[in-house]
Structure 1
Amino acid sequence: MSDIIIHYEILNDLLLIQWKNKTENALPLKPMRDNCPCAHCSGETDVFGNVYKGPPQKMEKSSYQITGIQPIGHYAIRPFWKDGHKDGIYSFEFLKKLCETFDK
């Protein structure tokens, strides 16, 4: 796996990421939350290809603030959002793609 995070921290409305190859990214929290990969936010696909999602959530200022981050093995992180949402597991590969699109 080439996309390995060796350090991360929250600075205001950004997730600062340092990768194993020493590159760095500053990912805004809003697109990170708006692209949450959990089943409620992104949906689940059944064997027939139908996608099922939870009802749309009303986003507030607290929806875009992180109170903590849990590492998931050596492949992902799980952010705890201030509004209580905590189901999204962001693989390093997924975060790298978000950084390529939204890096500040």
Structure 2
Amino acid sequence: MQRDYAPAPPPQDITVHTASRVLELRYASGQTLRIPFELLRVYSPSAQVKGHGPGQEVLQTGKRDVLVTGMAPVGHYAIQPTFSDGHDSGIYTWDYLYFLGSRQQALWQEYEQRLAAAGAHRDDAMPETAGRSCGSH
């Protein structure tokens, strides 16, 4: 899947919907994107999830019920959510959030294919790892 993110404007409003587990982004154009927390977590841009290069990605499982428990701005270009599973190292730029929100169907399909290839399921528990870092620092 193409990973070049087209420039995107900052959303005018960001709403965390805890009950429906959705991050809602509203834009000046009138467009609204609703991104499930699970998708945000599974596609975290952090090194802990993406690794430090091709082939180092860590397949995320057991994230269906994850919540966003906090959100910090990062300059004028991104947000850094904290998830209920303790993950808090992903910095989501406006461009990346727009990519996630506008490509959800393809991203879910890619995720399901990666799960199937690994013989895993969405609700499998994540394997235990030492510490919370990516392990290479």
* Same fold, TM-score > 0.5, yes or no: yes
Q: Displacement, 1:57? A: 5.7
Counterpart contact for 2:8–2:94, Cα < 8 Å: no
How many residues end up aligned between the 2 structures?
A: 97
| Alpha-carbon offset, residue 56 of structure 1 | 5.5
Aligned: 1:96 with 2:98 = yes
Higher strand share: 1
- Measured against aligned partners, the alpha-carbon deviations of 1:66-95 in whole angstroms (never above 9, x if no partner) come to 111101111100000011110000011000
Aligned to 1:59: 62
Q: Deviations over 1:29-77 (max 9, x none)?
A: 11111000000101113xxxx6545x66663555x20111101111100
CA distance in 2 between counterparts of 1:83 and 1:91 reads 21
Which protein has the larger Cα radius of gyration, Structure 1 or Structure 2?
2
C-alpha RMSD over aligned residues:
2.2
Q: Once superposed, which parts of structure 1, at least 4 consecutive aligned residues long, lie more than 6 Å away?
A: none
CA distance in 2: counterparts of 1:97 and 1:61, whole angstroms: 20
CA distance in 2, matches of 1:33, 1:58: 10
TM-score by length of 2: 0.61
TM-score of the pair, normalised by structure 1: 0.78
